[in-house]
C-alpha cells in the first residue's frame, strides 16, 4: 500500500503520508494515511472549522431553537440551501439565521452588551420559541466575552426561556470534528437530566448521530415505531430541545454517525449506564442487520423481520434495475465523514459500482481504517485533500461520478465529472429501503444524463454531430445490456412518489400502545 505524493504537492512533501493506494493483499498495517492532524500550511484545505462542526453539523438541526452565533455574520452562512436538515415545525431552524455581527469596534471594546441585546431581541421577535443555543466563534473567544454569564443573566430576567452555550471557536481543533466533541460534552454537562420526558413505550431509545437530511430521521423513526420503539430524542435531526434534555431516560442509545456523536453515547453510558448500539441506515443489508440488532436488544426480533421482508419485497426489484445499469461505473467516494465507510462496501455490493477513491476531510484514523478495508483494491485514499489534489486525482482515476460536497462537486462539474451532494443529497432521503433506491436513481440520473453527455463536447474544436436526434437516459444505459436484463419483467425503475414522506404523519402504530415488557408480571 504505497504512499502517494501528488505532483501538485511536491513542494509540500509532508502531504505524501496523507494519501495511499490500496494494493492487492495488503492490510491496513502496510500503510494508513495520516488523519485528524493540523492542516499543513500551504495546502489550502477545504476543511470546516470546529465552530462549523459544532453549529452547522450538530447544533442547527435542533428544530425549536434560536441558533445564535456570537461573531461576524460571515460565520453564519448555513441555511436551507447548504444544509437540508428539515424539521416538522416548518424548518424554523434553517429558515432563520441569527448572528450578533461583531465588527472591529466590538473586538476593541467588547461585545457582551450587544450580545445581551441580541438575545432579548431574538426571543421577542419569536415569542413561541423558548430555547436558544449560543455559539462562540474565534472572534468572541479571542476577546474573552463571558457568554455563559450573559446567558445566565438573561435567563434570570426572562424565566420562561432556556439557553445553551457552546464554547467551540473555530480554532478549537484540527477540523470540524473537534467541534463535534465539544458540543457533545457541553450538552451532556449543561442540559441532559434537566427535563423529565413522557415515556410512551416499554422500549425507549435515543437515536444519536442522525441529522434528518431531507427526512432520513422520519424514515428511520417510522421503522422504530412499527416495532413499538419510542424514539425519546434524536441527537439532533428534527430533535426537540426538551426531548434532548431528557436523554437520560432512554433504555438504549442507537448510534448512526459515530464520527460526530459517539462522545455523548459514551458519556451517557458512564453517567447513566445507558448501553450503546451502533447501526447503519444505508443499504438493504446493513439496514436490515441494524433493525434486527435493535429488535434483538428488546426481544422483539419478529417485528423487525416482518418489516425487513415487507420492505425488501417492495423495493429490491427496483434496486436491482439500477444495479444492472450501474455495474462497473467508477465512483470517487469523497463525502468527508462517516459516509466514507457507511457506503464504501454497500454501494459496490448492492449497486455494482466500483469505488476507485475514498477521502475524508475531518475523519480520524478509525474512519480511514474502516473505509479502506471496505473499498476495492487499487483505490486511492486521501486525507484532507485540497482542490488541486482533487483535480489531479480525478484526472488520474477518470471516475464516472463523485459523491462529495458542494465545493469539490462544483469543481468536478467544471472538468465534466457529475457529482451527487453527499452531505445534503440531491433528491433524498437516501436512508431506508426506499431511500436507498432513490440514491441509486440519483446516481443513474447523473451518470446517464444526456446534458452531461453534451458537456463532453468542446464547441471550440470538436465536430458537433448533426445527425443525432433526441437521446434519453434509457437509450444510453440500455444500449449494451443483455436482452434478458433490458426486457426483464421482474426488475423496474423507481416507482415511489416525488415526496416520499407525504402521509407519514398520518400513520398508525399499533405496537406503540404501552404494553407490559416481556416477562413482566401481569
- Tell me how far apart the alpha carbons of residues 208 and 257 are, in angstroms, rounded to a whole number: 7
Distance CA 54, CA 168 (A): 7
Asked if 98 contacts 67 with a C-beta cutoff of 8 angstroms, the reply is yes
Percent over 90 (pLDDT), the chain: 76
Per-residue pLDDT at 521 exceeds 60: no
Quick: pLDDT tens for 319-335. Answer: 999 999 999 999 999 98
Cα–Cα distance, 136 to 389 (Å, whole number): 32
pLDDT of 62 strictly over 70 = yes
Residue-wise pLDDT tens digits, 445-454 = 999 999 888 8
- Specify the pLDDT at position 519: 44
Task: For residue 372, give Cα distances in angstroms to 86, 206, 503.
Answer: 32, 30, 40
Cell of 387: 482542490
Q: How far apart are CA 459 and CA 456, in angstroms?
A: 9
Q: Note whether 222 and 287 are within 8 A (CB).
A: no
395 CB-side CA count, 13 A: 12
Residue 460 in grid coordinates: 471550440
| Percent of the chain scoring above 70 in pLDDT | 97
Distance CA 211, CA 77 (A): 18
**Cell reading at 15:** 502531504
Pure H helices in 327-462: 339-343, 346-351, 365-374, 387-397, 406-414, 432-447, 450-455
pLDDT computed for residue 80 by the predictor: 63
- Supply the DSSP string of 67-116, one letter for each residue: EEEES-GGG----TTT--B--SSTTHHHH--EE----HHHHHH-SHHHHH
pLDDT digits (tens, 9 = 90+) for 134-156: 999 999 999 999 999 999 999 99
Q: Is the pLDDT of residue 294 over 50?
A: yes
Out of 29-38, 101-110, 123-132, 505-514, which region has the weakest mean confidence (pLDDT)? 29-38
CB-count exposure of residue 143 (10 Å: 0-12, 13-18, 19+): middle
pLDDT score at 512: 87
Output the nine-digit C-alpha cell for 13: 512533501
Q: Express each pLDDT in 74-97 by its tens digit.
A: 898 766 667 789 999 999 998 898
Please answer whether residues 393 and 415 qualify as being in contact, where contact means their C-beta atoms are separated by less than 8 angstroms. Answer: no
Q: What is the pLDDT of residue 514?
A: 56
Residue 464: is its pLDDT beyond 90? no
In order of 39, 50, 193, the CA distances from 172 in angstroms are: 13, 6, 26
pLDDT in the model for residue 347: 96
In whole numbers, what is the pLDDT of the chain averaged over residues?
92
pLDDT at 76: 86
β-strands 19-21, 380-383 pairing: antiparallel
Q: What is the pLDDT of residues 303-360, one digit of tens each?
A: 999 999 999 999 999 999 999 999 999 999 998 777 888 999 999 999 999 999 999 8
pLDDT at site 518: 45
Question: What is the CB neighbour count within 10 angstroms for residue 91?
Answer: 16
Task: Return the minimum-mean-pLDDT range out of 170-179, 276-285, 383-392, 460-469.
Answer: 460-469
SS3 of residue 333 by DSSP = strand
- Coil, helix or strand for 444? helix
Q: What's the confidence (pLDDT) of residue 520? A: 41
Residues 408, 333: Cα–Cα separation, whole Å: 12
Amino acid at each position: 500500500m504505497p504512499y502517494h505524493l501528488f505532483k501538485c504537492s511536491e513542494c509540500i512533501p509532508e502531504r505524501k503520508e496523507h494519501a495511499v493506494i490500496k494494493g492487492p493483499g495488503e492490510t491496513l498495517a502496510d500503510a494508513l494515511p495520516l488523519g485528524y492532524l493540523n492542516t499543513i500550511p500551504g495546502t489550502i484545505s477545504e476543511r470546516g472549522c470546529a465552530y462549523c462542526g459544532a453549529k452547522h453539523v450538530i447544533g442547527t438541526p435542533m428544530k425549536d431553537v434560536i441558533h445564535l452565533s456570537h461573531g461576524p455574520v460571515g460565520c453564519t452562512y448555513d441555511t436551507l440551501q447548504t444544509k437540508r436538515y428539515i424539521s416538522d415545525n416548518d424548518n424554523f431552524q434553517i429558515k432563520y439565521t441569527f448572528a450578533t455581527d461583531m465588527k472591529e469596534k466590538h473586538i476593541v471594546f467588547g461585545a457582551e452588551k450587544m450580545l445581551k441585546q441580541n438575545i432579548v431581541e431574538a426571543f421577542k421577535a419569536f415569542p413561541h420559541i423558548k430555547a436558544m443555543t449560543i455559539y462562540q466563534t474565534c472572534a468572541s473567544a479571542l476577546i474573552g466575552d463571558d457568554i455563559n454569564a450573559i446567558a445566565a443573566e438573561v435567563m434570570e430576567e426572562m424565566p420562561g426561556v432556556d439557553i445553551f452555550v457552546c464554547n467551540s471557536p473555530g480554532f478549537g481543533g484540527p477540523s470540524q470534528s473537534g467541534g463535534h466533541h465539544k458540543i457533545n460534552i457541553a450538552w451532556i454537562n449543561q442540559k441532559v437530566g434537566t427535563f423529565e420526558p413522557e415515556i410512551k413505550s416499554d422500549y425507549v431509545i435515543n437515536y444519536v448521530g442522525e441529522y434528518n437530511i431531507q427526512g432520513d430521521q422520519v424514515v428511520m423513526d417510522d421503522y422504530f415505531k412499527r416495532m413499538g420503539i419510542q424514539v425519546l430524542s434524536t441527537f439532533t435531526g428534527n430533535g426537540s430541545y426538551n426531548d434532548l434534555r431528557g436523554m437520560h431516560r432512554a433504555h438504549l442509545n442507537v448510534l448512526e454517525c459515530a464520527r460526530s456523536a459517539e462522545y455523548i453515547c459514551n458519556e451517557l453510558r458512564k453517567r447513566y449506564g445507558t448501553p450503546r448500539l451502533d447501526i447503519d441506515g444505508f443499504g438493504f443489508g446493513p439496514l436490515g442487520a441494524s433493525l434486527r440488532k435493535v429488535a434483538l436488544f428488546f426481544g422483539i426480533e419478529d417485528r423487525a423481520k416482518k418489516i425487513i421482508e415487507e420492505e425488501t419485497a417492495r423495493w429490491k426489484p427496483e434496486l436491482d434495475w439500477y444495479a444492472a445499469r450501474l455495474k462497473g461505473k467508477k465512483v470517487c467516494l469523497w463525502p468527508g465523514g462517516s459516509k466514507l465507510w457507511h457506503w464504501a462496501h454497500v454501494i459496490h455490493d448492492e449497486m455494482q459500482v466500483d469505488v476507485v477513491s475514498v477521502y475524508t476531510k475531518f475523519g480520524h484514523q478509525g474512519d480511514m481504517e474502516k473505509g479502506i478495508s471496505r473499498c476495492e483494491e487499487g483505490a486511492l485514499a486521501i486525507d484532507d485533500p485540497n482542490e488541486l489534489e482533487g483535480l489531479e486525482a480525478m484526472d488520474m482515476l477518470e471516475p464516472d461520478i463523485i459523491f462529495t460536497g458542494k465545493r469539490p462537486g462544483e469543481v468536478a462539474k467544471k472538468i465534466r465529472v457529475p457529482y451527487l451532494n453527499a452531505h445534503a443529497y440531491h433528491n433524498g432521503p437516501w436512508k431506508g429501503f426506499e431511500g436507498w433506491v432513490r440514491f441509486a436513481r440519483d446516481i443513474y440520473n447523473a451518470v446517464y444524463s444526456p446534458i452531461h453527455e453534451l458537456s463532453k463536447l468542446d464547441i471550440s474544436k470538436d465536430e458537433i454531430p448533426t445527425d443525432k436526434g433526441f437521446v434519453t437516459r434509457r437509450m444510453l444505459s440500455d444500449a449494451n445490456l443483455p436482452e434478458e436484463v433490458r426486457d426483464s419483467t421482474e426488475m423496474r425503475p423507481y416507482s415511489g412518489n416525488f415526496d416520499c414522506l407525504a402521509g407519514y404523519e398520518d400513520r398508525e402504530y399499533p405496537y406503540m400502545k404501552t404494553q407490559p415488557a416481556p416477562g413482566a408480571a401481569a
